[in-house]
Structure 1
């Protein structure tokens, strides 16, 4: 059996995409940790539901963007490139969300467990991931 046959096996392809996306998800969570003023996993451990909402929305958003990228692009480098581009747009959306709410600080409200702000952050991440995903596919 040639290498081409092995690599084109759906089980191998799925395991490869899964592994790469999990790695990209870890990198994106580290980058989101740097962008926010609070420590995501420390706050979640303490039971901060707002941070859990916001972080869950980011995780869903990143995975959804990569879902579109996997569906559309034929090579692993293309899939990674477009997925990471979509992730950058998601970070931009988070910064824009902070900028467009000058009456209060999004990071401070989420850190203080303002569940309304955490929930809106989740919805923005999820909603925009569909728009970003559709545009990269």
Structure 2
């Protein structure tokens, strides 16, 4: 009866993709946290809205990339590799944003609670993620 409703193989396949790509996402977020000069978690606990907004953009951006990587690859390894490639592109975009704003340091502004810069940083993460996820598919 159960096999008529759900294919056990498909359920296991789904769980495997979920576990592996969630792990890749967590590692990507950890790397993002390591490259910022401030401690994201401390800033979030202090109520820094700019950090929260930027963090939101990173999480959603990475997740969009992982979704496309899963949807467009027949293998778990392919999905993980394309997810990592998309993350690297997000990192490059992050550094380009910093480079294109020589009058101020993006990280410093976000650490100081500049919500406007946090919104722009989140928007850039999302834009890069949308472009990358489209390119993956």
Q: Same fold (TM over 0.5)?
A: yes
- Give distance in 1, aligned partners of 2:35 and 2:20: 22
The alignment's TM-score, normalised by the length of structure 1, stands at 0.91
Which residue number corresponds to residue 55 of structure 1? 55
1:101 aligns with 2:92: no
Which residue number corresponds to residue 124 of structure 1? 124
The alignment's TM-score, normalised by the length of structure 2, stands at 0.91
Gaps of 5+ in 1: none
- Give distance in 2, aligned partners of 1:122 and 1:131: 14
Residue 73 of structure 1 aligns to a residue whose secondary structure is: coil
Which residue number corresponds to residue 41 of structure 1? 41
Give the RMSD, CA atoms, in angstroms: 1.4
1:107-132 Cα distance to aligned partner (Å, 9 max, x none): 00000000000011111111110101
Pairwise CA distance, 1:57? 0.5
Which residue number corresponds to residue 15 of structure 1? 15
| Residues 21 and 63 in structure 1, CA contact (< 8 A), matched pair in contact too | no
Which contiguous aligned blocks of 4+ residues in structure 1 show a shift greater than 6 angstroms? Answer: none
Residue 104 of structure 2 aligns to a residue whose secondary structure is: coil
Residue 101 of structure 1 aligns to a residue whose secondary structure is: coil
Pairwise CA distance, 1:94? 0.3
- Give distance in 2, aligned partners of 1:56 and 1:17: 23
1:108-119 alignment runs, 5 A limit: 108-119=108-119
- Give distance in 2, aligned partners of 1:31 and 1:129: 16
1:73-88 alignment runs, 5 A limit: 73-88=73-88
- Give distance in 1, aligned partners of 2:24 and 2:46: 26
Size of the alignment, in residue pairs?
Answer: 132
Gaps of 5+ in 2: none
